[in-house]
Chains A and B, each alone.
Chain A
């Protein structure tokens, strides 16, 4: 109740995000959670946080369901295919670069065995790959951004969530194949296929159910399939968020997407913000303070992410005319990460508590923090250059009236555009 209350208060105080207030990454909620959590002020202890775990799992599943429903869409329209491909390739590239940077370091740090190194590097790669779709919405809400580049980056942001979730599913499958409650020996590929099949099956059931629905039964269908999917996924040792993500994609292809979107969208804030808050409470920075070498690993991940995003910016510039006007640093506008990164980190922290999970979560939050410092500012500059954001208008006081210009002035002529 304390956490929920804090979340509600936090939402009211700093969360007027619909108006462009607050951070694009939602880090203020993570910070609030961290502050009251067991590793800072200790207002809530670990046992209490653990009680929230099932709720947290469901919240994550709901969040990725929403992402699946929205993937490749900008508002009600599908993003152009080339933008979607660019988004997917960019995330894969960034994730791969992060993985490549972290994996050798993890081996150097003598982290248990090769599989653990793979899980650690893979987790950080998955968590540090995306560009948050919220950063463009933030620019739209705060600066009134509107134009071709805004649309391209919106489409990019809404298409690049596929890879992190898919990668997470693969690494969860790796961890699921050992020590899960499943009695039958199943190869990793089997787990991945099971994730997809379960998501598709339940997505199909949800589509069948919401036809000719009435009242609360739409919600019963959505929540029911989501909870059942999450629960069965956990039982098989699969990644619940991947299952619900696939469900979301499937429903995104149905003719009810528009109506569903209107139904579920208002819940996004209610789900994401407390999730970020709880992620903050689980943020155990001791893992890196006790093993300083892990800081190197996190820094390497951030550096690799920057390289990946700069390369993505380069690809975007090659593909689109408006992007060319922005200059070579367009990639910096793409380094913002947020809720999805932290959700991936949180999934790892919940599933693999200890060095691997905690480090992935710390890396996800660190990426979001650095992204928050660099990303929105760079995006604003890029959008200013393309004219997607109107330059601020500064009022210059008119010169004292003289006989010559008396009567010919209009106030607009004294407004100077600041470039």
Chain B
């Protein structure tokens, strides 16, 4: 489906034509048999999102839009708020793919982090993390504080409460999207200083955000909840969570490396089991699954010789899963809510992007970064996705008084950043000249593979 990428018009036309057929088929099916509630309805939704997402991505490619945007737009259009080709129930069921997608993203992210690369960019990474985190929380938090009149849920808040809620929003603003970053890097096959910086920063920021999150809750709770006391209990839990996750991740990484070396076959099944099974178990045990899988990927890459093989397999599996993951995220998008909160959302998102740019420039100046990082280093930091949503959901749970509206605003902001961020990052990667052309894998004609390997079922 890369015809368009190579400037072949028939590819684009056939994609557009196929897209119309695919939309039309599901449209007719959903109108002719609207009451169908079987499981295969969800399966049709997966098929549709896979096809529709991939096709729309291709149709949008001449506009230099990232594939990810195509997947998201497909989900939004087909989702329950616009064309209603996919109902709420199916969207909820499809959310189970999230854990698999996030597991693959974390594994891939960890496996992409080579110690040699990290060593090279440790100064850049250190300064960027410090400046973006501290500066981001302070600046975005301050803006949020100033926007009090525009926030219906904060009308009756005093200064202390406003500081508490602004702190939470500030931390929310520092969350990034490893999935979007990896999605763009995977599509563009980017290699260069910007790609390396983006990957290492976004992956590391996940750990930083987890720590900040615990700190923010500890500080904000006494400010927001009358009678609540300042307690370091959250840090104790955090220590358990982080150390435990690193320990389990290391063990898992060693096991995976041994598996790849000794067995190698059926790695997809192992990845599926990890994504669907282990992710849930780790969450249940109060470990951070994202960190665990990231450490596992890191261990496979850096403590064994199986890293490239492992990474290749993850990329293959992830390629399919990401389409469904992002398209489902699009279908999840609460369009009516976005319509309602758009003014304040736009201000917050615009300011966040601006602060990221300014802070990025400052950090790059201190670290004396390469020109591409100096210029475009802010671009991969705009996207937000699952982590921000998870954080917003946690706020809702911890602070029932205003949490629901805080979460709604968070979702709206994530929606905007989710749409804008990948476009900006792709533009940055292209402008920095770090993207590489695609490699076709399915040769035309029967001469492609004249021989068939013997298989099992064919005894």
Question: With the chains together, A1 CA to B440 CA distance in Å?
Answer: 35
Q: Do residues A141 and B459 form an inter-chain contact, with CB atoms below 8 A? A: yes
Q: Is B54 an interface residue (CB 8 A)?
A: yes
Q: Which of A117-156 contact B (CB under 8 A)?
A: 133-134, 137-138, 141-142
Q: Is the CB of B459 within 8 A of A18?
A: yes
User: In the assembled complex, which residues on chain B have CB atoms less than 8 Å from the CB atom of A24?
Assistant: 459
Contact with B along A208-249 (1 / 0, CB 8 A): 111111111111110111111111111111001000000000
Residues in A with CB closer than 8 Å to B38 are: 234-235
Q: Report Cα–Cα, A197/B33, bound state, in Å.
A: 17
Does A8 touch B at the CB level, under 8 Å?
yes
Asked whether any CB of chain B lies closer than 8 Å to the CB of A193, the reply is: no
A396 within 8 A of B: no
Shortest CB distance A199–B (Å): 12
Q: A residues within 8 A CB of B446?
A: 76, 255, 257-258
| CB within 8 Å of B: which A244-269 residues | 255-263, 265-266, 268-269
Contact B448 A215 (CB under 8 A): no
Q: List residues of chain B with CB within 8 A of the CB of A20.
A: 459
B277 at interface, CB cutoff 8 A = yes
A230 interface neighbour in B34, B44, B452, Cβ under 8 Å: B44
**A interface residues, Cβ below 8 angstroms from B:** 1, 4, 8, 11, 15, 17-18, 20-24, 26, 53-54, 57-58, 75-76, 133-134, 137-138, 141-142, 180-184, 198, 201-202, 204-205, 208-221, 223-237, 240, 255-263, 265-266, 268-273, 339
A213 contacts B51, C-beta separation under 8 Å: no
Contact A58 B43 (CB under 8 A): yes
> Which 9 pairs of residues, A with B, have the shortest CB-CB distance?
A231-B44, A216-B319, A227-B47, A228-B47, A269-B456, A224-B50, A259-B448, A224-B51, A234-B40
B: number of interface residues (CB 8 Å): 69
Q: Which of A57, A183, A259 has the most CB of B within 10 A?
A: A259
CB-CB under 8 A from B315, the residues of chain A are 216
Which residues of B have CB within 8 Å of A205? Answer: 18, 21-22, 51
CB within 8 Å: A-B pair count: 242
B1 near A209 with CB under 8 A, answer: yes
Q: A209-B18, A213-B2 are in contact. Are A141 and B41 (CB under 8 A)?
A: no
C-alpha gap A211/B14 in the complex (Å): 10
- The DSSP consensus for interface residues of chain B is helix
B453 within 8 A of A: yes
Known: A214-B2, A219-B319, A219-B320. A134 touches B452 (CB 8 A): no
Q: Which residues of B contact A4 (CB under 8 A)?
A: 269, 273
The binding surface of chain A is classed by DSSP as: helix
Interface centre among A23, A181, A212 (most CB of B within 10 A): A212
Say yes or no: is B116 at the interface (Cβ < 8 Å to chain A): no
Contact across chains for B452 and A261 when beta carbons are under 8 A apart:
yes
Give the interface segment out of B24-32, B193-201, B385-393: B24-32
Which residues in A have their C-beta under 8 angstroms from that of B33?
180-183, 235-237
In the complex, A380 Cα to B54 Cα: how many Å? 49
Which residue of chain A has its CB nearest to the CB of B21? A205
Closest chain A residue, CB of each to CB of B11:
A212
Q: Which of chain A's residues has its CB closest to B319's CB?
A: A216
User: Could you say which residues of chain B place their CB within 8 Å of the CB of A271?
Assistant: 457
Apart from A208-B14, A209-B18: 13 A-B pairs, beta carbons within 8 A: A18-B454, A22-B459, A75-B452, A76-B451, A141-B459, A181-B33, A208-B15, A221-B51, A230-B40, A231-B43, A236-B32, A236-B33, A265-B453
In the bound complex, residues from chain B placing their C-beta under 8 Å from that of A272 are 457
Q: How far is the CB of A190 from chain B (nearest CB, A)?
A: 12
